[in-house]
Amino acid sequence: MRCLVANWKMNLLSASAGAFCDALLADPSLAGSSGCQLGIAPPFTLLKQVSEAVRGRRISVFGQNARAEAEGAYTGDISMAMLKDAGCAGVILGHSERRRLGGETDALLAAKLQAAWDAELLPLLCIGETLEEREAEQTFPVLQRQLSILGPKPGPLWIAYEPVWAIGTGRRAEAKQIQEAHAYIRAELMTRMDEAAWRVPILYGGSVAPDNFAELLQIPEVAGGLVGGASLDPAKFMAMAKTAAKTEE
């Protein structure tokens, strides 16, 4: 199955989010497609609106982040249960911007993973190396460390490999680099999950756009994309969704 998730980050307001959903749902070939599982990760303020707009369609809503704690005095934060209550089916965890700007550690993310499973949310775990780590030939050790938080019996999961140096830079990893990283991730999942590892889609995230998405989907083990900037334009997102549906694995 192909997967395509729009990460809107800190973008869009109610009117533009509504227009996006209207455009997406106006195309029945996308809204009802069995060839590609679509996801949208809006800002917290738009979760309820987007969830209600896509209810009953093959489009899942993801939170962009959440705390591990169920409740408490955490001003400005949001819990997994709150995401669920707003209509979310999943949550993005470990995005490089949260690791870099929010100082999120592997230990913290391990707690968030468990909290997501406890809340019956699907975690989309982002992993990937910085340019310095890539140049020091530390890509595989970094990926191994980041995947070690899964523990011996992980629950339902999606993975997004996002080389940090290729996010929002217009710079893309080479096909060989992506294939090697995705193959390594699959092998690591097999050691932790046995046959269940084959049910975990591994998405690619790093300057994904309509003009390179078809090529990315030809790379072994690339099940889809986690899309940033290009996902703010419904026409671009729909173009990538149609490409994914046509190349269903």
Average pLDDT over residues 24-28: 88
Q: What is the pLDDT of residues 85-141, one digit of tens each?
A: 999 999 999 999 999 999 999 999 999 999 999 999 999 999 999 999 999 999 999
Q: What is the pLDDT of residue 28?
A: 76
Determine whether 135 is an active site residue. Answer: no
Taking the C-alpha atoms of residue 235 and residue 165, their distance in angstroms, rounded to an integer, is 26
**CA of 70: how far to CAs of 52, 63, 79, 107, in Å?**
24, 15, 6, 17
pLDDT at 247 over 90: no
pLDDT at 223 over 70: yes
Q: What is the pLDDT of residues 80-91, one digit of tens each?
A: 999 999 999 999
CB atoms within 10 A of CB 149: 21
Q: What is the pLDDT of residue 42?
A: 98
Taking the C-alpha atoms of residue 182 and residue 206, their distance in angstroms, rounded to an integer, is 13
Average pLDDT over residues 62-74: 98
Question: What's the whole-number average pLDDT of the chain?
Answer: 94
Q: Is the Cβ–Cβ distance between 8 and 231 less than 8 Å? A: yes
95, 97, 133, 182: which is the annotated catalytic residue?
A: 95
Average pLDDT over residues 193-216: 94
Banded pLDDT at 31 (limits 50, 70, 90): low
pLDDT at 169 over 90: no
pLDDT at 246 over 90: no
Determine whether 182 is an active site residue. Answer: no
97, 129, 133, 162: which is the annotated catalytic residue?
A: 162
Bigger pLDDT: 78 or 31?
A: 78
Pair of tokens at residue 106: 């592997």
Banded pLDDT at 191 (limits 50, 70, 90): very high
% of the chain residues with pLDDT over 70: 96
**CA of 26: how far to CAs of 21, 195, 237, in Å?**
8, 38, 13
CATH domain 2-246 topology: TIM Barrel (3.20.20)
Among 128, 161, 150, 140, smallest CA distance to 197 is for 150
Q: Using alpha carbons only, what angle is made at residue 116 by residues 20 and 196, rounded to the nearest 5 degrees?
A: 95
Where are the chain's structural domains?
2-246
